[in-house]
Amino acid sequence: MFLDIEKAKYPIKQFITRGIIGIDKNETIKNACKKMTEFGISSLAVLENENIIGFLSKKDVIKGIAEGLSVNAKINKIMSKNLVFCESSVSIGEALEIMANFQVRHILVKEKEEFIGIFSLKDIIDLQKFSLETQISSD
C-alpha cells in the first residue's frame, strides 16, 4: 500500500523540507543547475529583490534546453511563474491533490504569510520508506 488513509490526514508541516533555496531571476540556467547540484535538490525558488516570484525545476531546465535555449540564457525565460503553494496546516492528502491538479512535483508551503519550506513527492517517498522501516522493525 502506498499511503494509508490515516497518514494522508497528517498535516504536511511535519514532513516538509524546511527552508527554501533560491536564485535570482537574472541568473543563468547553467548557474541554476550548479546550485541544484551543489545542494542536491531538483528545484529552486526564483527571487526578485528577495521575494519569490517563480519556481524552477529540473523539468523546466530540460524543457528549456530541449527547446534550444543556451545554458547561458536567463532562468526567467524558463521558470514557472504561477506559484503553487499551500498552508502548512493542510493534510498530506490535500497537498497531493493540489499537486495533482497543477501537475507539479513540488509545492511551496506557507505559514502566516511567509514561505517556510517545500513539500515534494520525495517527501512522500521518505515518509513511505520510514513507514516500511518502522513496520519491519516492529515485526
pLDDT given at position 68: 97
**pLDDT of 57-73, one tens digit each?**
999 999 999 999 999 99
* Helix ranges restricted to H, the chain: 5-8, 29-39, 58-66, 92-102, 121-138
Contact indicator for 48, 42 with CB cutoff of 8 Å: no
Q: Which amino acid is at 56?
A: L
The C-alpha cell at 4 is 494509508
Handedness of CA 58, 63, 65, 71 (dihedral sign): negative
- Mean pLDDT value across the chain: 87
Task: Quote the DSSP letter at residue 84.
Answer: -
Instruction: Walk along the chain (139 residues) and give the pLDDT tens digit of each residue.
Output: 455 545 678 888 888 888 899 999 999 999 999 999 999 999 999 999 989 999 999 999 999 999 999 999 999 999 999 999 999 999 988 999 999 999 998 999 999 989 999 998 887 777 766 666 555 666 5
Q: Which CATH number fits domain 5-138: 3.10.580.10, 2.60.40.3880, 2.60.40.420, 3.30.300.30?
A: 3.10.580.10
Contact indicator for 44, 21 with CB cutoff of 8 Å: yes
Location of C-alpha cell 516492529? 138
Strands 51-57 and 43-48: antiparallel
Q: Which of 29, 14, 10, 12 is nearest to 107 (CA)?
A: 12
